[in-house]
């Protein structure tokens, strides 16, 4: 009778693994919902606590709830490490680091009290929603964006260098047109105006007074729209290229022209129009 109620360590570990790493089960979904609720509540509390009026009225309550959530996330982090097949891999994975950062600020604040920096870091807890909502698609899109930025980095650097030269040129011209009497005391200040104007920010702390200067600034403002659009076009083009390349395979070989690199769903050769055939795998005897 006593043996019937015994649970081995491996069975308990498998049960924990089902909750944390197999989200299709009912206990796992219930746990995810409760964790999502605590993350949202904790996120709202951190924002409210940054407002002095609410901090004075409910500071003690915020403090108690925040530490309660911290111990909950600590238990969650320890449980995930315990149930993980590869604990080292989990600890240094994206989600593992986010889970660790969600509990670090409160314990670090004990060593360095009265630091607003740790309050900001606690907002990393919101990133745990990525795990709970299983937004893997958005993470893949983020990887696509990073790869597109890397592949187009040389073109972007050339563009930035060209903009840098244009800004110096524009600032120098405006310094000549307006001069010191209109607030353009030197070329660096004029370059500052050129950057603000070219990016269409327009702080208004420095503006041309002469008719020629105002006309020239209008041209620069119109030019600024194109300046902003160019890097966006470069990155967008690279992202489209990355997506297209994902759908291209070398397994579809044209029997007529012997060329490959067609789309996975292609039925006809894009070079000569012949019916495509899949490349056969060569079976070798070991």
Per-residue pLDDT at 284 = 43
Residue with the larger pLDDT of the pair 21 and 58:
58
CA 238, CA 228: separation in Å to the nearest integer? 17
116 pLDDT band, cuts 50/70/90, is low
CA 112, CA 76: separation in Å to the nearest integer? 25
Per-residue pLDDT at 243 = 67
Per-residue pLDDT at 261 = 64
Per-residue pLDDT at 125 = 64
Lowest mean pLDDT among 28-37, 151-160, 275-284: 275-284
- Cβ atoms within 10 Å of 124's Cβ, excluding its own: 17
Residue with the larger pLDDT of the pair 264 and 236:
236
Following CA atoms 187, 188, 189, 194 in sequence, which dihedral angle do they give, to the nearest 10 degrees?
A: 90
CA 83, CA 60: separation in Å to the nearest integer? 35
Cα distances (Å, whole numbers) of residue 62 to 38, 39, 68, 125, 209: 13, 14, 10, 16, 54
Q: How far is CA 266 from the centre of its chain?
A: 33
Per-residue pLDDT at 256 = 76
Domains of the chain: 8-132 (1.20.120.350), 151-246 (1.10.287.70), 248-286 (no CATH)
Residue with the larger pLDDT of the pair 264 and 27:
27
Per-residue pLDDT at 5 = 33
Mean pLDDT of the chain: 77
SS3 251: coil
Task: Give residues with Cβ within 8 angstroms of 74, minimum separation 6.
Answer: 103
The alpha-carbon radius of gyration of the chain (Å, integer) is: 30
Give the DSSP letter of residue 112. Answer: S
Evaluate whether 250 touches 260 at the Cβ level (below 8 Å): yes
Asked whether the predicted pLDDT for residue 143 surpasses 80, the reply is: no
Per-residue pLDDT at 17 = 76
CA 286, CA 284: separation in Å to the nearest integer? 6
Per-residue pLDDT at 211 = 93
User: Look-up: residue for tokens 């590869």?
Assistant: 86
170 pLDDT band, cuts 50/70/90, is very high
Bridge partner residues of 268 (DSSP): 275
Mean pLDDT of 196-200: 86
């Amino acid at each position: 009778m006593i043996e019937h109620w015994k649970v081995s360590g491996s069975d308990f570990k498998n049960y924990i693994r089902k909750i944390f790493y197999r989200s299709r089960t009912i206990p796992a979904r219930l746990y995810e919902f409760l964790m999502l609720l605590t993350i949202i509540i904790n996120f709202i509390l951190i924002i409210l606590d940054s407002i002095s009026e609410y901090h004075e009225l409910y500071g003690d309550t915020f403090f108690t709830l925040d530490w309660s959530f911290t111990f909950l996330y600590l238990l969650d982090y320890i449980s995930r490490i315990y149930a993980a097949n590869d604990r080292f891999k989990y600890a240094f994975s994206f989600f593992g680091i986010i889970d660790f950062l969600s509990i670090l600020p409160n314990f670090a604040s004990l060593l360095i009290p009265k630091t607003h920096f740790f309050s900001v870091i606690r907002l990393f807890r919101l990133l745990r929603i990525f795990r709970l909502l299983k937004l893997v698609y958005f993470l893949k899109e983020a990887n696509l964006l990073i790869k597109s930025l890397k592949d187009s980095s040389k073109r972007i650097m050339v563009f930035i260098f060209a903009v840098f030269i244009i800004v110096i040129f524009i600032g120098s011209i405006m310094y000549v047109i307006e001069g010191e009497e209109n607030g353009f005391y030197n070329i660096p200040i004029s370059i500052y105006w050129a950057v603000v104007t070219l990016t269409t920010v327009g702080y208004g702390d420095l503006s041309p007074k002469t008719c020629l200067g105002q006309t020239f600034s209008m041209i620069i403002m119109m030019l600024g729209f194109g300046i902003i659009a160019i890097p966006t076009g470069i990155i967008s083009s690279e992202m489209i290229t990355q997506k297209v390349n994902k759908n291209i395979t070398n397994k579809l070989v044209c029997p007529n022209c012997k060329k490959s690199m067609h789309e996975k769903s292609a039925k006809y050769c894009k070079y000569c129009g012949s019916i495509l055939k899949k490349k056969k795998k060569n079976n070798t005897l070991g």
